[in-house]
Structure 1
């Protein structure tokens, strides 16, 4: 969990608590160490977040404190809505559900006079006309291995039906209308390659980290596109 996310979760835990919470109890809820919680609480209090702590008793968030509202312009809201619509129509089931969740959250936090931009938008994208043929590949796991910077071993068939085996370094799962691709550095070709997900016959998710940072690889790939 990123530190910014953890700080937010600490505030949420304290807000929901019916009484003081010890650092140990907070650490258990966040599945982190007590030392980390102490450090995060100190950081929050240094930013003048009204948290009171008493030795042997626990920590309390003063009543009346809240996070500043999410401030979005009408155009920013429409951009979020349009993007979420496209993801809901064209991404895999996990991301589609996440996109719908994002819209529900945005609708819940924007001011009342802007809510119509989410509930009855004037921007839209066509619904998917056909189901994306992903074969048996788990796109969520492909994204996870890209984030973890771990190698994949692919059993792949190309447009001519030729089958090959590749070890690759995944950097991106691309969602294009009508097709989805894994973008990766191929050890066999010593270059970046695109692998259509419906042509992946099998994927071995290896525990081997690849030697370069994904951000560096992505910059190199983007430089080739220019």
Structure 2
């Protein structure tokens, strides 16, 4: 393992830890000596990583520090590029625009040889249909999820029956042919999934829903029998 890869691994370990972790535990996980671990921590701190702590106490990484994409191995870069290219082809207008912007940012910071390798990548996105625009802008739906605010919606089901509901949206699921807005429905008193193409109207309310998004998502996953990872 090169030193740059080890530094990246150290950052990834610290990102996963919510509480301070001892230097010895970090050294053991990386397979290096404690002296090497101390040097690596000092190097990352000099690069701007907000790693707090000291020997004998433990270390914790404060949020907000990112390494440029060139620090990723080629396989991880290919994965990121493939995902961004899929969104650029299959997402809604806003997601497509931001995916293309992200691709440009990644390419801009890559060394020339890696940029050439990415341009010639054998991983390609096959043809597929782009979903047509819906009555409700998906940007509004994603904003409601991000800000944990209630939505007042008019929803037309498969029998063409329209209902007025207030929901607590906490996830947006992407499938090849449909997009599903997932939330707690006050009308039904339970979790429900709503096809984005059947939303007739949506209004972002000022009220925040009373439970955190992560808690709702975890509960819904458990009820659906969906693993909590991935």
TM-score where L is the length of structure 2: 0.66
Aligned to 2:25: none
Using a 3 Å threshold, how does the CA distance of structure 1 residues 117 and 48 change in structure 2: closer, same or farther?
A: closer
Aligned to 2:92: 92
Aligned to 2:214: 215
Are residues 1:155 and 2:154 paired? Answer: yes
Distance, in Å, in 1 between the alignment partners of 2:120 and 2:216 is: 41
Query: How many residue pairs were aligned?
Result: 163
Structure 1: unaligned runs, 5 residues or longer: 1-46, 51-66
5 Å-filtered alignment, 1:1-226, equals 69-70=68-69, 71-129=71-129, 131-226=130-225
- Runs (4+) of structure 1 moved beyond 4 Å? 47-50
Using a 3 Å threshold, how does the CA distance of structure 1 residues 194 and 117 change in structure 2: closer, same or farther?
A: farther
1:72 Cα offset (Å):
1.0
Using a 3 Å threshold, how does the CA distance of structure 1 residues 68 and 223 change in structure 2: closer, same or farther?
A: closer
Structure 2: unaligned runs, 5 residues or longer: 1-44, 49-65, 226-230
1:169-204 per-residue CA deviation (whole Å, 9 max, x = no partner) reads: 010122211111111111112221111111111112
1:69 Cα offset (Å):
4.6
TM-score where L is the length of structure 1: 0.67
Q: Secondary structure at the match of 2:152?
A: strand
Using a 3 Å threshold, how does the CA distance of structure 1 residues 68 and 186 change in structure 2: closer, same or farther?
A: closer
Counterpart contact for 1:137–1:203, Cα < 8 Å: yes
Q: Secondary structure at the match of 2:89?
A: helix
